[in-house]
Structures are given as C-alpha cells and as structure tokens.
Homo-oligomer: A and B are copies of this chain.
Amino acid sequence: MKNLTKRQEEILNLIKTHILDLGFPPTRADIARSLGFKSPNAAEQHLRAIEKKGFIKILSGASRGIILNDSENDQIPVIGLVAAGGPILAEENVEKTIPRSNNLLSNDIDYYLRVKGDSMVNIGIFEEDLIGVSKSANTKVGSVVVARINNEVTVKTLIEMSQNKVVLRPENENYEDIILDPQVEEIAIEGSCVALLRESI
C-alpha cells in the first residue's frame, strides 16, 4: 500500500471524521466544501487516487459509497505463546486480534500478550491475563516490561539497567531476581506493560 500525499491524507481523515460524526461518509461536494475546493471534481479525483493506493473503495453509482479499507489497522493482535527465536509479532504467535477501542484502554497498546506462569501474581498479573504492551512507552526502573532473554520472552519488573547489569524481578516471593550481564547474555526490552485485561474471573 503506497503512501498517501499530505493532501490525500487530509481527505482520508476528513472522511473518517465525517463517519465518526454523522455515521456516513461525505459526498464529493461535502469534501470540496470542507477543503475549499471550488469543484466537486477535485474531491472525486483525490478519491480515485486514494482508492488506487488501496486506502478506500469507491462503490460506483452509490451516493456516499466510500468504504474505508483500514479495518486491519484497527485491530490489536493478541500474542499467545511466543515461538523461540522469531519476533513477538510474527504471525504464528497471533492468537487472535481485537478491535482497538479508543476510550477503553490506553491508546498506545501495540499488542496484547497472554501471561504464562505465576511469576507476577503479587502485582495482580495472573496466568492467562492479557497484558497490553506498548513498544514506545518509555521504560524506566520500576516499569513492568516485556523482556527477551536469549530468545525467550518474559514479563518482569525492571529493577536495574546499566551497561553491564540488568536486573529483572518476578513479583512472587517464590522466584529470585534475574540478574544478567547484557554483554554476555542477549537481552532486549520489547516494551512496557501499560494495561491488563482478564477475560474471566
């Protein structure tokens, strides 16, 4: 899917806003009016370009017949067991996807990760819970993070992180702190946990 130009993006956003506000797409004339075009044909041609790039579908003959093609963008993957080695978001790890809902939980969730084991029960993270993970949220000491240690993915609290020492703490007195030397072990912080979903109590 090719990139949209600035103007095309503006029009796509206008369509989305119109749908959000009124529940149906705008007409060519609506678009022209909103953006100050003097001809509805300007809108028409933009729509054609946007369709050609795959962002919308135009139903010929139907008034307001603009269908958005961004349903995938609106889905958040739920990651089950992470196959060792590959990236977390690899398709084989995706258990299902759930629609993003702006107001429900923090918006910057990149994926949900299904929790395995009981190493975080003390802070209320239980087996089978879904953790909302943000790749961009800044991880600081004290954050609950998704870490990859030698190709295995785990959820722990980040206690210390320096050039030659990383400490990850399970929140369960039955487990010991994981102390690692990043110069020896392969370790990466994949993201921060920003939300939690439990589908059954």
Contact surface of A with B, Cβ cutoff 8 Å: 19, 22-25, 27, 59, 63-68, 96, 98-99, 101-106, 121, 123-126, 129, 131, 144, 193-201
Q: Tell me which residues across on chain B come within 8 A of A99, comparing CB atoms.
A: 101-104
Within the assembled complex, what's the spacing in Å between the Cα atoms of A144 and B201? 7
Partner of A104, one of B98, B125, B193: B98
From A101, which residue of chain B is reached at the shortest CB distance? B101
Q: How far is the CA of A159 from the CA of B59 in the complex (A)?
A: 58
Residue pair B101, A197 in contact (C-beta under 8 Å): no
Kindly identify which residue among B68, B124, B131 contacts A125, using a CB–CB cutoff of 8 Å: B124
In the complex, what's the smallest C-beta–C-beta distance from A104 to chain B, in angstroms?
5
B residues in contact with A67, CB < 8 Å: 22-23
Q: Which residues of B contact A24 (CB under 8 A)?
A: 19, 23-25, 64-66
List B contacts of A65 (CB < 8 A).
Answer: 22, 24
How many subunits of this chain does the assembly comprise?
2
List the B side residues contacting A126 at CB < 8 Å.
123-124
Give Cα A201 to B139, complex, Å: 12
CB-nearest residue of chain B to A127: B124
Query: What is the minimal beta-carbon distance from A78 to any residue of chain B, in angstroms?
Result: 10
Cα distance A63–B22 when bound, in Å? 12
List residues of chain B with CB within 8 A of the CB of A198.
Answer: 124, 195-197
